[in-house]
Amino acid sequence: MVNTKVMLAGIEMDNPVIPASGTFGYGQEFAELYDINCLGTFSFKGTTSEPRFGNPTPRIAECSAGMINAVGLQNPGVDAVVSHELPEMKKFFHKPVMANVCGFSLEEYAHVCEVLDSEEQIGWFEINISCPNVHGGGMSFGTSPCAAADVVKAVKKVTTKPVIIKLSPNVTDIVSIAKACEAEGADGISMINTMLGMRIDLRTKKPIIANKMGGFSGPAIKPVALRMVYQVYEAVSVPIVGMGGLMNAEDVIEMMLAGATAVEVGTANLIDPFVCKKIVDELPAVMEKYGIKNLTDIIGGAH
């Protein structure tokens, strides 16, 4: 028998598989397809203080080995999450869930976390300082060590739960940003968010996405994600949630060898809604194939 359990920032998970925020909603549509309690947890839709419609359409463009999206943090706002989404979620998901929090100011990040902190279903906060699809917020906090540290400081003042900071790959030195977050008390690092990309329609000769540019994700970015997780693992002592182009159980093992304690699966959910269940089901056989008895033993094993 193999052991797939991992410990993420003090909370035990049955396995390291986490559907990524923005690709799993609040879990309800997927819960109609399979019992999502087989997952380690999931990261629900990025939440802001006020409801957001998001960016104008079109918001999605396909490309080789991936996709580009510019949804723009569409969500019902934190009050609706507390009054409606979390009570509904309690009916079909019985594990701690990861709350993805977005903001356009330090005050907004802190407010959303403060409102959500007393909700019993929430196990971790995943603080998104790396969204490339919105103007005047999101990624602007994730491109500077000082700005990233300020977000951590503001959030840690108002929450009792583990705080995991989601970093952008669209920077020169991701290691310095991760170290700054750890220094201010971050309990973990989540990486990488989407890269920045675009597509152009040859017929109209204009960008396909109304936002012009958007987040590039999918298998094509996996080597970049692995490299960044590997670099950050050597620089910090907090756990890392690794993501970027993961499609199967072997990808999970590879990301954990680079240094991830847990992994998130994003774009693959939009291709195959059963993919996370398949990865969870495949994991024991893949572990046996490579002689792995305990998943925790391989974290950072490539170093």
| Residue 173 C-alpha from the chain's centroid | 20
Q: For the chain, what is the HEC assignment?
A: CCECCEEECCEEECCCEEECCCCCCCCHHHHCCCCHHHCCCCEEEEECCCCECCCCCCCEEEECCEEEECCCCCECCHHHHHHHHHHHHHHHCCCCEEEEECCCCHHHHHHHHHHHCCCCCEEEEEEECCCCCCCCCHHHHCCCHHHHHHHHHHHHCCCCCCEEEECCCCCCCHHHHHHHHHHCCCCEEEECCCEEECCEECCCCEECCCCCCEEEECHHHHHHHHHHHHHHHCCCCCCEEEECCCCCHHHHHHHHHHCCCEEEECHHHHHCCCHHHHHHHHHHHHHHHCCCCEHHHHCCCCC
The pLDDT averaged over each successive group of 10 residues in the chain (303 residues) is 97 98 96 98 96 92 93 93 97 98 93 97 94 52 88 96 96 96 98 96 97 95 98 98 98 98 97 97 98 98 98
What pLDDT was estimated at residue 134?
47
Tokens of 82: 């507390």
Measured distance CA(280)–CA(284) in Å, rounded: 8
Measured distance CA(253)–CA(298) in Å, rounded: 8
- Of 102, 113, 131, 276, the active-site residue reads 131
Tokens of 212: 């012009």
Tokens of 127: 């603080």
Domains and CATH numbers, the chain: 6-55+72-197+216-298 (3.20.20.70)
* Beta strands 163-166 and 122-128, pairing class: parallel
Report yes or no: 43 and 75 within 8 Å, Cβ to Cβ: no
Distances (CA, A) of 287 to 3, 149, 186, 205, 252: 9, 37, 30, 48, 10
Measured distance CA(183)–CA(13) in Å, rounded: 26
What pLDDT was estimated at residue 139?
53
Measured distance CA(279)–CA(271) in Å, rounded: 14
131 is catalytic: yes
Question: Which strands sit side by side in the sheet containing 188-191, from one edge to the other?
Answer: 17-19, 262-265, 240-243, 188-191, 163-166, 122-128, 97-101, 43-47
